[in-house]
Amino acid sequence: MSDVFHLGLTKAMLQGAELAIVPGDPERVKRIAALMDNPTPLAATREFTSYLGHLDGHAVVVCSTGIGGPSTSIAVEELAQLGIRTFLRIGTTGAIQPHIPVGSLIVTQGSVRLDGASFHFAPAEYPAVGDFYCNRALVEAAEAAGHSPFLGITASSDTFYPGQERYDTFTGRVSRRFQGSLEEWQALGVLNYEMESATLLTMCAALGLKAGCVAGVIVNRTEQEIPSPDKMAKTEQDAIAVVVDAARRLLS
Ligand SMILES: O=P(O)(O)O[C@H]1O[C@H](CO)[C@@H](O)[C@H]1O
Ligand SMILES: O=c1cc[nH]c(=O)[nH]1
């Protein structure tokens, strides 16, 4: 019996956990939990796969959000109902600034809200910003692992293709709203594209929860569209190690 609608979890299963690590991809969950003590599978429903692990004796939930804002909002809402107060997203991303190499890590300070779900929590004037302490823990964890993370603004889009101005679509077209948008975000200093941070950061700020996002750069859109599988796996693993260390720092 589940205490919440979708995740298949009960409060008892979470053993008092107050922090969750939330990747997009369900396949990433086990690999994140493997870096903790006593990794234990909890549930797998739709796009929501969850594990419990422990860091220095603290229970930590790992739960995938699936792709995009709507499913992210469900995961966060239900985890909050079960007692989670801090959310660390670990994702993959496409950089749009030429100086950001594939393999690097980006910590999202704030997001351009190209999603829809965040508007169900707060109006357009409200910022999608990360929690300072989460950002600090992510940056310190990245630096401790020898990375020089980029910290800045992310464009967070509901769609992977038009919203991120990709022309390798079925029609080869992108709707007028997004034509030229990549260049505009570049000129405004936006670092990267992904698909969940706008929802996560807005809803957490609006609901009095803490959140931070780190992402591994798997493509640079000024150079290529398709990631190389080897580089992608290493980048993802680097980001996983950083998010787990950041969680440990926040819990200590
Ligand atoms: O690797 P994840 O966490 O899924 O993040 C990124 O990858 C997906 C798109 O390929 C989107 O979810 C985007 O935000
Ligand atoms: O370009 C990219 C790469 C990963 N995820 C995204 O949303 N966009």
**Over the stretch 34-46, which tens digit does the pLDDT of each residue have?**
999 999 999 999 9
Which residues have a Cβ under 8 Å from the Cβ of 99 and sit 6 or more positions away?
Answer: none
Give the domains, in start order, of the chain with CATH numbers. 12-251 (3.40.50.1580)
What's the average model confidence in pLDDT over 55-68?
98
Q: What's the complex ipTM?
A: 0.99
Q: In this predicted structure, what is the pLDDT of residue 18? A: 98
Whether 136 sits among the annotated catalytic residues: the reply is no
- Average pLDDT of the chain to the nearest whole number: 98
What is the SS3 assignment for 155? strand
Cα of 226 vs centre of ligand 2, distance in Å, is 10
Q: Is the Cβ–Cβ distance between 78 and 4 less than 8 Å?
A: yes
- Which residues does a 6 A CB cutoff place in the pocket of ligand 2? 92-94, 160, 164, 193-195, 218-219
- In the chain, the percentage of residues whose pLDDT exceeds 70 is 100
Q: Which of 20, 32, 152, 23 is nearest to 99 (CA)?
A: 152
pLDDT digits (tens, 9 = 90+) for 140-196: 999 999 999 999 999 999 999 999 999 988 999 999 999 999 999 999 999 999 999
Nearest Cα neighbor of 179 from 156, 157, 162, 192 is: 162
Under DSSP, is residue 24 helix (H, G, I), strand (E, B) or coil? Answer: coil
98 CA to centre of ligand 1 in angstroms: 20
Residue 120, number of CB atoms within 10 A of its CB: 14
The pTM of the full predicted model, rounded to 2 decimals, is 0.98
Cα separation of the two ends of the chain: 33
